[in-house]
Structure 1
């Protein structure tokens, strides 16, 4: 068994089709802008940031054997990711995500991750009975897990012996899928990365700030949490400590992928031995740099 991966990224790897405009938008707006296509998905966004921090992520996902899938796998490999264990389906198309962003933020988005959901547990074969691990010899490293998987599969992961020694870092794909993280709310080795809205969904109540949300999740049994609130405060919390910081104030030019960037930067910082304070600070600055990045319009 070859457990030589620094971190496994499990979840959605797809094509992001993003339309961005410098104008503020509302329903029915028709404005000039730019439309781009680039590799995306929660697992992919996390992996790309991990690579920038010097780590080598291994992808566990489903990608079709169509031309778009071949192009996507090649792009992942060029970016420095291990794609040897990606499940390539003959009959499922490569997934896609489409979003529209204006000067006033995300206007609308549609995630077409049906192939990942249809593939189900097949994407985990290398980890459950293969070169990365088995139930009797579980993987012992870092795993970044995104909530685009089905609730059934996430429940299986939460209970599987193959994951019992891993350092699990879990994030929902969107507020609409936040409830899929419930199996990890009382998990003994999981760290949850959520925003304020997602924390409220998991706790079935509203929160006004990241610190109260972190406390709410810990009260529900979470081992460790990181709660963000856009340009407002972010909190990392465990039974031993609560730490809150405010991100740098920047001009926001893009939002898709910001949470994934934050999560990856935090994971990489801790992997390097950073303190809790240092890791949160680096993650907030990485996310701020990302959202303020130059985007041609």
Structure 2
């Protein structure tokens, strides 16, 4: 069976969760957790738990966080042969602060090592990319690396996570090669330059992206749920799952893994399955649900029709 390949960031996530409403400029009681993170790494772990042979292309420092990430990701079932361990750089870290409702209030990332994932480093793996079952690229990568990856992706469907309002612009020149794009509302607005103030604006954004070659759009809209659209004209909304949120970190990455798992199925069905993956992840304190499986997602969907 061909592999799914994920290319992008691996972080050590440091998440602070306040026990009550945050008071800015003051010390807030709560809990601090360390967990493996990073968009590409999270998606890869979720894909492995959903039963897919998955290989991760990423860069880690030769330091304790890097060793911990390498061990934890391998233990989750991800093929880490294509991980570069760089002795002269520090492993990426992502520091986030969450309110009592689990939503992130602010975050700081230290991700300079991702710039070492260059076209020159990737070039020896061009054949592996073209032979993949599906490809996941995150916009933590540089514009040059994203362009090279898209140009060498062969016939494999390309899934792209836009990551942030600043980094989403890095995929702008390669949209014609994107099979599925997963931004949130602010990222889609930054990428297209179109307003997204109301749900009625979503169709115009989808039309703009489809006109530039994006085959499928899955637009996360917080409490309003997910808007989805494909280039053949099908569109719809999937309500946000009703779940007691332990942490919002990683839910979007679980959503992406669910979409990749359902590649080839009608997009509306894929989005529903993917929202089940996200719901299970929202219900755990960490960035990934260690018990995620196809059976558990299907059970959740049966209980939440």
Of residues 244-253 and 192-201 in structure 1, the stretch that sits farther from structure 2 once superposed is: 244-253
- Whole-angstrom distance in 1 between the partners of 2:69 and 2:37: 10
Equivalent pairs counted in the alignment come to 281
Confirm or deny that 1:141 pairs with 2:130. no
Equivalent pair of 2:163/2:183 in contact (CA under 8 Å): no
In the TM superposition, what are the counterparts of 1:39-118 in structure 2 within 5 Å?
A: 39-104=36-101, 105-118=103-116
Confirm or deny that 1:278 pairs with 2:269. yes
In the TM superposition, what are the counterparts of 1:226-265 in structure 2 within 5 Å?
A: 226-240=218-232, 241-265=234-258
2:303 — aligned with what?
Answer: none
Q: Deviations over 1:171-198 (max 9, x none)?
A: 112223221221233x144310111111
Q: Deviations over 1:101-160 (max 9, x none)?
A: 11252121111110111342355244226xx25xxxx334200110101122223333x2
> Structure 1 residue runs of 4+, over 4 Å off?
none
Equivalent pair of 2:20/2:100 in contact (CA under 8 Å): yes
* TM-score after normalising by structure 2: 0.84
- Whole-angstrom distance in 2 between the partners of 1:139 and 1:226: 25
Q: Deviations over 1:5-63 (max 9, x none)?
A: 42001000121111112312142242111111111000111112112211121000111
Q: CA deviation at 1:210?
A: 5.2
Three-state SS of the structure 1 residue aligned to 2:242 is: coil
Three-state SS of the structure 2 residue aligned to 1:237 is: strand
* TM-score after normalising by structure 1: 0.86
2:300 — aligned with what?
Answer: none
Distance 1:182 1:83, change over 3 A: same
Equivalent pair of 1:46/1:261 in contact (CA under 8 Å): yes
Confirm or deny that 1:218 pairs with 2:218. no
- Whole-angstrom distance in 1 between the partners of 2:278 and 2:7: 21
Q: CA deviation at 1:274?
A: 4.1
Equivalent pair of 1:211/1:234 in contact (CA under 8 Å): no
Three-state SS of the structure 2 residue aligned to 1:61 is: strand
